[in-house]
Amino acid sequence: MPELPDIAVYIEALEARVKGATLEAVRLAHPFLLRTFDPPISELTGQRVFELRRVGKRIAFRFERGQWLVIHLMIAGRLHWFGKGAKKSARAVLASFTFDTGFLTLTEAGSKRRASLYVFANEAALNAHDPGGLEVLDASFEEFRARLTAENHTLKRSLTDPRAFSGIGNAYSDEILHRAGLSPVMLTQKMNDAAIRKLYDAIRIVMPEWTQRLRDDAKGEFPEHVTAFRPEMAVHGRFGKPCPVCGTSVQRIRYAENETNYCPRCQTGGKLLADRALSRLLKSDWPKSIDELEKL
C-alpha cells in the first residue's frame, strides 16, 4: 500500500499537473470503485482543481465549488499520468480523468478490487472520512507519547493503525522499528520514555528521508515505480538477507497477507519471534534465538 512518502510524491507530481486545471471528463470502468453517490461524480466535471491534500494514505482533490474527490489506492492501486497527445497505456484502467492539461488513470494489479473513490460535498464531509491518525511529523513528543500509549498494543499494530498514526503502513513501520532498534511485538504501555523517544525520532527521520529519496528517484517525472519493496530498505521485504547494520539475516513474522520483517540482533536482543506458519509445524524444534538458527 502506498504510504506517506509515496502519497506525498504523488501529490507533488499532481500539483504540478492538475492544480488549476479543469476536469473535462470522468470515466469509471468498474462501478464498484465509487463508494459514494451524493453528490454524483459527474458534478465535478467542468470544475477546476483548487487544492490537493493527503488524508492519511488517501489523495484528496478540492474543486472550485468546494467538493472533494478522494482516491484510496489501498494495496495495489496506482496512478499514471499522460500529457496531452501522449499515447496511453493499454493496461487495465479502473478510472480515467481527463483534464485540460492531460490524462490521469487509476489502475489496480491483481483480481481483488480494493481501490476506491469518494466524492464529498464539502470539507466537513471529508473530515468525517478521515480516520484521525496523528501526523507525527507535525506532532510534539508529548502528543506522540499520549497517542502511542492510549491503548496497549504491539508497536507494529499501533504504527499501522490509521486511527492512531497517519500515513504509516506495513513497509515503513518495519523500517522505522529497525531504525529505532525496537521489537515489533513490544507493547506500547510497557515502553519507557527513552524507547518512546527513539521511536518518535525514527519516524521523523525515516519518513522525510524516504520522501526525499522517492522525490529524487522521480526526477520531476510522474512517479511510475511505486512499490513497497525497494532494495535500499533495511529490513522490509528482505527476509534472509543481511541486516545493513550488523549483517544478521533478516527474519519475518507472517500473518494473513502481510509479514513483518526485523533484525533479531538489532531489535529483539537475538530472540526469534515465532513465525506462526512455521512454529505450528515445528513446535519444540523451532529455534528460540538467532544463534540457534545460525547453528542449524
The tens place of each residue's pLDDT in the chain, 296 residues long, gives 799 999 999 999 999 999 999 999 999 998 889 999 999 999 999 999 999 999 999 999 999 999 999 999 998 899 999 998 777 765 689 999 999 999 999 999 876 778 999 999 999 999 999 999 999 999 999 999 999 999 999 999 999 999 999 999 999 999 999 999 999 999 999 999 999 999 999 999 999 999 999 999 999 999 998 988 999 999 999 999 999 999 999 999 987 677 899 999 999 999 999 765 544 544 444 445 555 544 43
d(CA 210, CA 197): 20
Domain 136-295 has CATH 1.10.8.50: yes
Q: Which three cell numbers stand for residue 270?
A: 537475538
> Which CATH number applies to 4-129?
3.20.190.10
Q: Taking the model in full, what pTM does it have? A: 0.91
Where are the domains positioned within the chain? 4-129, 136-295
